[in-house]
Each structure stands twice: as C-alpha cells, then as structure tokens.
Amino acid sequence: MGADEEAEGVRRILQQAVVRSVGRAVGMGVVEFTGPGGEELGLHIQCPFRFVHDDRVLLGSQDMKYPQKGAGPNAFDNFRTVYDERAQLLNNLLTKAGPRVESVDLGKAGDLTLSWGPGVRLEVFPDCSGREEAWRVLIRGGAHHGYPPGIV
C-alpha cells in the first residue's frame, strides 16, 4: 500500500472519532477512540508525541521518564510517572467533553496531527531514519495503517 493510500486510510478511520482515553503500554503511547459507527479505534505511538492546548504542552512522551513525587525507583513499572498522572487528568477531561477529531493531518515524513476543539491537538513526530514502526492507527479486529508506509 502506498503512502497516499495509507494516509487516506488513517483519515477515514480517525475523522470524527470520539477521543476516549490516553495511556501507555510500557513505553508506547496509546490513544483510544470510538468511531462514528461505534467501532473501537486505537493509535499506538512508538515515537515522540505531545498533547497541546493552544500554546501549552499538556502531556508529552518524555513525561514517562520522570517519576511522580514520592513514587520511588519503580515509578515507571508501577505507572507512577508524570506521564501517568497527567494522562489521568487528561482522561477526566476527555470523559466529560467527549471531543470529536475535527482534522487529521499527515506530513510526508510521517508526522501526524489530530485536532479537536477548542484548541487541542495531538502531534506525533517520527524521529528514526530506519524502517521502524513509528505509529499505527487501527480498527480493533480490522484495518491497520501506519508509518512508515507498508510497515504494518
């Protein structure tokens, strides 16, 4: 599948999806959505990413490196990092607001930006020159699309 087909598949899956939750599976970012038809959707991110509101970073992939105050040496394994704490706060807001993805933008070098109102976006930016999977968009039990094209 070519890059244009991959991009169109990603747009088709995520456009108007409800952003449901943010979390992680070890060091991989996980964002869950509900599609317009009720289908379960996911975005698995294995490269740098951040959630931004207007001009402020709300949550970034690097936050996984920093333990919460008093979390101890096993903070990462016990899901007690700054990332985990901020993801929970973001999830509380997502549950109340139920935002829908308003735009899906893909760049030529694999950057992916999802936007929803008011002023919130998820920015994903691959930083590896090799053929390593940077991110994948999926319908549970169905289609998978990712970057680089053809890797999924």
Among 31, 18, 42, CA closest to 117: 18
**Pick from 72, 68, 52, 70: nearest CA to 60:** 52
pLDDT in tens, the chain (152 residues): 566 788 899 999 999 999 999 999 999 999 999 999 999 999 999 999 999 999 999 999 999 999 999 999 999 999 999 999 999 999 999 999 999 999 999 998 999 999 998 899 999 999 999 889 999 999 999 999 999 988 88
